[in-house]
Chains A and B, each alone.
Chain A
Amino acid sequence: MTEELQSFIEKYDLLGCIQCGRCTGGCPVTVRTDLNVRRFVYDTVDEEALEELAKMPEVWDCTACNTCAVRCPKGLKPVEVLIGLRNIMVESGVVQPTVRDALESVFREGNPWDKSRATRNDWMKDLEVKMAEPGEPVENLIFVCCTIAYDPKLQVVAQNLVKLLNKAGVDYGFMDTSETCCSSEVHNLGEEGLFEMMVEDNTELLNEYAAKRLVAISPHCYSVFKNQYPDLKAEVLHYTHLVGEILEDKKLELTRELPEKIVFHDPCFLGKQNNVYDEPRYVLGQIPGAELLEFDRSRERSLCCEGGGGKMWVETESKKERLSETRVKDAKELGATVLAVACPFCVLTLDDSLKAKGFEEEMRVAEILELLGEALD
C-alpha cells in the first residue's frame, strides 16, 4: 500500500511544489467552483488522505486546460494530480453513470458517444475520399476524431478538409472504420488502465500505415498523440499546420470573400498544451475579406470553454455563469460576427452558450474548416 501511495508523490513530483499558488491563481474554473488545485497538490502529499480527497466533487471540475502547468514555475503538472485522484475513483468503481457509459463505449465501439463502429465513416458518403492502406506509403494520414466523425453538425469539418486536400492535390489518406478513439478523454477521466490499452492498440494500428505524418483534426487527438504516444513513428501535426503549409505554398487559393469579423478562440489543447497559436491565425488571415479580431484573453491567457478534461460527460454543479458564456459575451462585445474555433468540443460548448444567451442573430460559432469551405467555393 505504502509503496503504491509513495508512487503518487513521485509520479506527480508533489514534493517539488513550493505552494506559490500560481496554479490556482490562473485556474479559470475558480470563478465558478471551489476547485483549489494548489490545495490538492499540498494535501495529496498525505498518503492516508488520498481516498478521501478523491471523493471531493471539485476533482471533477477541472477541464484539463493546462493553465496550472503553464504557470507553474517549478514545471509541475497540477492538472495530472487531479486526474490521478479521478483514477482512484474510477478504480474503485464509483463514478457518474455518464462517465461509466462513455468509457464503456470507448472500450466496446472505439468512441465515447455510444455510436456503432460500423458507421464511423458514414460522413464520407458521396465524397471522393482517398483511403490509406496499411503498408502503403502516404504523406499525410488523417485522423478524424470520434466527435467529428459522428456529430451530424460537425461532419462538415472532415468533409471540408477532404475537399480542400483534393483541390490542393496533396498526398493524403483516411483510415477505414478501424480508426479508434485517441483516448485523450479516457486519460482525462482517469481511466488509466483503459488508456494504456488504447495507446498500445492505437500505436500498433497507426504504425501499420507507412505514414510520414499523422494529421489530427481535433486538438485533443493531436495533443495526446504528440505527448502521450511515445512509440508513434509518424510526425504528429494538427490540421492547421497542414492547411497553413498548403496556403503558404500556394497550392490552393481561397477565392470567395467572407466579409466577417472573426475572433479566434484558442483551444486549450492546441494553445496552452502545445503552443500552437500562430497557425490557426495564419489560416484565418488568408480568408479574403475577413477582418481578424483578438480577445483580450487570448493565446496562453485564453479562457477555457470547459469542454475538455472529460467535461462533456460531467456537469459542474455550480450554477454560476459558464466560461463559454463569458466567452461568447466577450466575442459579442468585440463586435465579432464569427467566433472561430479549431476544436470540436469548443464548437459544442460555445454554440450551446451562444444559444443560451440568444446571440444567434448577431453571431455564429464556426470551426475554421467550415469557414475555409465557404471561402473555397
Chain B
Amino acid sequence: MGDLFVLAEHRQGELREITFEMLSKAPEVAKELGGDVVTVLLGSGVDAFAEKLAAYSDKVLYVDDPLFADYNSDKYQKVLAELLKTHKPDVFMVGHTTQGVDMAPALAVELKLPMVTDVMDIHFSDGKLSPVRQYYSGKVNADFGFKGDPPYLLTIREASFEIVEGSKQGAIEKVESPLKEDLDYRRFIEYIEAEVGDVDITQSEILVAVGRGIREDKNMTLIEDLAKAIGADICGSRAATDAGWLPHDRQVGTSGRVVKPKLYIAIGISGAFQHLAGMKGAKTIVAINKDPDAPIFTEADYAIIDDLFKVVPKLTEKITELKG
C-alpha cells in the first residue's frame, strides 16, 4: 500500500488554488490506496506554506532552498525524481497547469512512469485507480486504467474539485535538496504579468453580460447592483461596448474575448452570432430577454422570457436576501 503525493504549486508568493483542489480530493484517493496524503513543496522561504499545507496533509515534505526561488521545470524534475525514487508513492498528482504540463511529461519519461494528463475526476474500479478525462472536445468522458507499476502520474485539470477546508495536522518534514548546484541551461529571467484591463473577464467565474436591451447608460446601475449581489464581473455584447457603456476589453465575442465562466447571465442580449460563439463555453447560461425568439435562447440553459427591467431588480433582491 502506497502513499498519494501531491505537488504544491505556487507563484508570486501565493499557493495556487489547484493545490487545494487536488488536496481536497486527495483524502478519498489516499483512503482507497491505503496510504497517506503527502504534499510535496519546493520553494525558498516557504515555511508558512508548509504550515498551511499541513492542514490538508498527513505529511508535508518540503525543500527550502534559494535555488527554488523561482519556478524552473528542470530543477523541479531533478528533485521530484529523487523524491519519487526514495519514497515510492502509488500516485503523484500534479496540476494540469502551465507549470505542471511543462514538467510532468519530462518526469514521466525520465522515470518511465505511466501517466494520464488533464484528469477531471478519479474513480476506483475493482480497487484499481481509474482517472477520467475527456475526448472529442468534451463530448465524451473516458475512464482510464493503468498498465505497469506505480508510481502513476496524473495531471489534474483546474476547477475539477471543490475546495474543502483542511482540518488535518500533518507532520512537516524538511528535506535536504538533492540538487546541489544551479542548473543554468534554462534560467528564470523575469515575471511578466499579462496585459489586461482592470478586470480580465476570461478569468471570471461569474459574468453578468449586458446588451442593447438595457437601452441607456443610466440603466447600467441595475446591472452593477446584480453583479455586486452575485459577486460577478460585468461584460457585454459588441453593441453594448460600442455604445460606450463598457470598456472595449469587456466585449465578449469571437473578435473580443472568448469566455468560459461557471455562470453567464445574459441580460438584454438578443445573441448576435459572434457573441454566441464567444460565450457558449460557459458552464451554465441564464438568458433574460423579452423576445422568445431571441437567438441567445438557443445556447441558454435557463431562459427568463420577460422584461429585464422587471426581472433584474427582483433577482438582485432575492439573491441579496438569500445571501443574508
Contact = CB atoms under 8 A, between A and B. Distances in A.
Same complex origin of A and B: yes
A153 B274 contact: no
B100 interface: no
A150 B251 contact: no
B73 to A, nearest CB: 20
Contacts of A93: none
A360 to B, nearest CB: 7
A242 interface: no
Interface string B240-275: 101100001001001110100000000000111110
B255 A315 contact: yes
B292 interface: no
A358 B215 CA distance: 8
A198 interface: no
Q: Among the interface residues B254, B256, B298, which one has the most CB atoms of the partner chain A within 10 A?
A: B254
B254 A313 contact: yes
A351 B239 CA distance: 9
Interface in A328-361: 348, 351-353, 355-358, 360
Contacts of B274: 312, 348
B172 interface: no
A60 B229 CA distance: 39
B248 A356 contact: no
Contacts of B272: 153, 348, 351-352
A101 B281 CA distance: 13
Nearest to B239: A355
Contact of B243 (A101, A108, A114, A356): A356
A102 interface: yes
Contact of B273 (A97, A151, A322): A151
B273 A311 contact: no
A113 B273 contact: yes
A357 B244 CA distance: 10
Interface string A108-128: 100001100000000000000
Contacts of B157: none
Interface in B208-240: 211-212, 215, 237-240
Contacts of B211: 355
A247 interface: no
B178 interface: no
B254 A98 contact: yes
Contacts of A313: 254-255
A319 interface: yes
A325 B242 contact: yes
A292 interface: no
B254 to A, nearest CB: 5
B178 to A, nearest CB: 36
A314 interface: yes
Contacts of B255: 98, 311-315
B277 interface: yes
Nearest to A321: B242
Interface residues of B, number: 25
A151 B254 contact: no
A83 B212 CA distance: 34
B105 to A, nearest CB: 19
Nearest to B258: A98
A230 interface: no
Interface in A300-320: 311-315, 319
Given A355-B212, A356-B243, A360-B212, A152 B271 contact: yes
Nearest to B211: A355
B34 interface: no
Contacts of B273: 113, 147, 150-154, 348
A255 B110 CA distance: 77
Contact of A113 (B237, B239, B243, B277): B277
A351 B242 CA distance: 12
B166 interface: no
Contacts of A150: 273
A352 B242 contact: yes
Contact of B242 (A101, A154, A311, A353): A353
B313 interface: no
Contacts of A356: 212, 238-240, 242-243
Contacts of B242: 322, 325, 352-353, 356
Contacts of B295: 151-153
Given A113-B277, A355-B239, A102 B212 contact: no
A315 B248 contact: yes
A351 B274 CA distance: 12
B238 A352 contact: yes
A353 B242 CA distance: 8
Interface string A123-162: 0000000000000000000000001001111100000000
A101 B137 CA distance: 12
A231 to B, nearest CB: 31
A352 B239 contact: yes
Contacts of B212: 355-356, 358, 360
Given A151-B295, A153-B295, A101 B258 contact: yes
Contacts of A351: 272
Q: Among the interface residues A108, A311, A313, A315, which one has the most CB atoms of the partner chain B within 10 A?
A: A315
A148 to B, nearest CB: 10
B258 A315 contact: no
B300 to A, nearest CB: 12
Given A152-B298, A348-B274, A352-B272, 20 more contacts: A98-B254, A98-B255, A101-B258, A108-B137, A147-B273, A152-B273, A152-B295, A312-B254, A315-B251, A315-B256, A322-B242, A348-B272, A352-B237, A353-B242, A355-B243, A356-B238, A356-B240, A357-B243, A358-B215, A360-B212
6 contacts: A151-B295, A152-B273, A153-B270, A153-B273, A315-B251, A352-B237
A-B pairs with lowest CB-CB distance, top 3: A356-B242, A151-B273, A152-B295
